[in-house]
A = this chain, B = another copy of it.
Amino acid sequence: MAENREVTIYDIARHLNISAATVSRGLNNNPAVSKNTRKKITEAAQKLGYQSNTFASSLRSKSTHTLGVLVPRLNSHFMSSVLAGMEKAANKHGYNLIIAQSLEEAENEKQNADTMFNKRVDGLLISLAYDTSNLNHLEPFFKRNIPVVFFDRVQSHTSSISVVINNYEAAYKITSHLIDQGCRRIMHIGGNVLRNVYKDRFEGYRQALKDHDLPFQEKWHLVTALSEEDGTAAANHILGFPASKRPDAVFCANDTSAVYCMMALKAAGFRIPEDIAFAGFNNDPISKVIEPNLTTVDYSGETMGNTAVTNLINHLKGISNLYSTNSITLRANLIIRASSLKKVAGSKK
């Protein structure tokens, strides 16, 4: 058999010495064909390298059974958990995922969205880039009624749904916990407030301070990209304060910045949590390895990915209507560990 020629049902028919119509029915698992013959047909198809024509059938059905996934960066612990959850749900329902990353740039996000649109994905799952300022690049999807599900970094839109955690509440709770532990000068290392996740975490933090009659100072709010380097730089920022004006706690919008800030302050002789307490966000693997272990917010990427895809597929199958819901809020739990337990640390002395 020539290696590059397409194998057709006629080849299978010739191979088995039966009619092409029988082969076609057998491949479609039609009970009019005996079980034994169906088995022979399937085996011959596999042996000869027959490829069912998904494309042609996509053209007919107008459905590709493919979902587009657009994320800021693929290589983060959180995002890889999201993808794992999405893939499980998609696979279970016979859908495939096409992935692309914006590398945090709106321009890449636009290009990737165009590609997904032209690849005719049945739906789009998107978490917005750091600097995306509007949703014009998604208009083609909205216009054609191709469902869009925002997750994690979302922006409200009438023709879409958002899957999120309550970032405001989680930040409010974790800040209140720090206050409850006796902290009074609490700093926040946050991200770009253009993105809901960072805006909400900042506002939850600020409201907790306000509700406990604690002052907020602009210089206690650092806006960074929350990288390892940003965590180390934040430590230097803290070391720059006169000793009497230093924060006694830091709430960081992710674990990476918290851990690197902690490591730099520990190296400078600070005791954690006695001199300065710490809280992060995400429950990344590093939060369980840093000493003392980091208080954080458990944020299940896997559940978020699974929920986003399941809702999208249910909409595509007509089981539920995506547009009737504005957002789905998932549970996020405060995980209290030694980095913030000032009272316990104090009583041990």
Contact = CB atoms under 8 A, between A and B. Distances in A.
A51 B289 contact: no
Nearest to A56: B59
Contacts of A87: 74, 99-101
A55 B52 contact: no
A9 to B, nearest CB: 14
B84 A91 contact: no
A285 interface: yes
Q: Which 3 A-B pairs have the closest CB atoms?
A: A80-B80, A49-B143, A75-B84
A18 interface: no
A145 interface: yes
A236 interface: no
B119 A96 contact: yes
Given A80-B75, A80-B79, A91-B100, A118 B289 contact: no
B3 A118 contact: no
A143 B80 CA distance: 33
B77 A84 contact: no
A134 interface: no
A117 B51 contact: yes
Interface in A45-75: 46, 48-49, 51-52, 54-56, 58-59, 64, 66, 73-75
Interface in A282-310: 284-286, 289-291, 301-302
Interface of A: 3-4, 7, 46, 48-49, 51-52, 54-56, 58-59, 64, 66, 73-77, 79-81, 83-84, 87-88, 91, 96-101, 103, 108, 112, 115, 117-120, 139-140, 143-145, 256, 259, 263, 284-286, 289-291, 301-302
Contact of A101 (B84, B256, B301): B84
A58 B263 CA distance: 53
B66 A74 contact: no
Contacts of A145: 3-4
A256 B288 CA distance: 12
Most buried by B among A66, A75, A77, A285: A75
A280 to B, nearest CB: 12
A80 B76 contact: yes
**From A73, A76, A83, A263, residue with most partner B Cβ within 10 Å:** A83
A52 B213 CA distance: 58
16 contacts: A3-B144, A3-B145, A4-B144, A4-B145, A55-B55, A75-B77, A75-B80, A75-B81, A75-B84, A75-B301, A77-B285, A80-B83, A91-B101, A97-B99, A256-B285, A285-B285
A83 B97 CA distance: 13
Given A118-B54, A120-B54, A140 B49 contact: yes
A84 B119 CA distance: 20
Given A4-B145, A99-B83, A99-B97, A118 B51 contact: yes
A55 B289 contact: no
A84 B80 CA distance: 10
A302 B103 CA distance: 14
Contacts of A290: 289
A332 to B, nearest CB: 18
A337 to B, nearest CB: 13
Nearest to A103: B88
Contacts of A286: 285-286, 289
